[in-house]
Amino acid sequence: AGLGEFRIRDLNDEINKLLREKGHWEYRIKELGGPDYARIGPKMLDHEGKEVPGNRGYKYFGAAKDLPGVRELFEKEPLPPPRKTRAELMKDIDAEYYGYRDEDDGILEPLEQEHEKKVIAEAVEKWKVEREARLARGEEEEEENIYAVHEEESDEEGGKEREGEDGQQKFIAHVPVPTQQEIEEALVRRKKMELLQKYASETLLAQSEEAKTLLGL
């Protein structure tokens, strides 16, 4: 430590240079067919050095680890773990992630049923109160016709409208509806085609038998 900052840095650089040269020679020996010293050789010098996170290859030895600016590098927090890829994240996503198994625990469903009964009871009570108020005012209660079709709901392509006795629209056909006469005509045409196919087949069979007789087959 008493050599001074600049001398320590020079010596540390020289050590790293010799380590790199040593690594090149070990690789060359292995390339020529010799032993792999990088794998079986002693690691004393490498273990004595400390490498700065994120600075792969360069190591600090002895007093060089306490130099100004170097000590702070070793005191930094470790790097955060690598972020997972999309494929790794998708492995943990199942039906439970989307809430499809929320009712399997047997807790949520009874709570929903209890709340549903409460809401229905409140709606019925509100309807009874409003109904009694209307009757008290002498207003006649009219049942809403759920089958009625309003004028703004007419078909864009032009449907057929029918009116009841009270003049209210009852039905709108969104597709062409054939009349009874058109249905009867279609049935007649179908029957004719069936008869033609039947008798035409019998005629062809008779002609075939006649031809075989004439040819002596």
Q: What is the DSSP string of 90-159?
A: HTT--TTTTTTTGGGGSSHHHHHHHHHHHHHHHHHHHHHHHHHHHHHTTPPP----TT---GGG--TT--
DSSP 8-state class, residue 32: T
Q: What pLDDT does 25 receive?
A: 92
Nearest to 70 by CA among 21, 1, 121, 127: 1
DSSP 8-state class, residue 164: -
**CA–CA dist 28, 22 (Å, integer):** 10
Residue whose token pair is 């004595």: 48
Tens digit of pLDDT per residue, the chain (217 long)?
788 888 998 998 998 899 889 889 999 999 999 988 878 776 655 556 666 655 667 888 888 888 887 777 777 666 677 888 888 888 888 877 887 777 777 787 888 889 999 999 999 999 889 888 888 887 765 656 655 655 555 444 444 445 545 555 555 666 677 788 888 888 998 888 887 777 766 677 777 777 777 777 6
H helix or E strand, kind and range, residue 169: strand 169-173
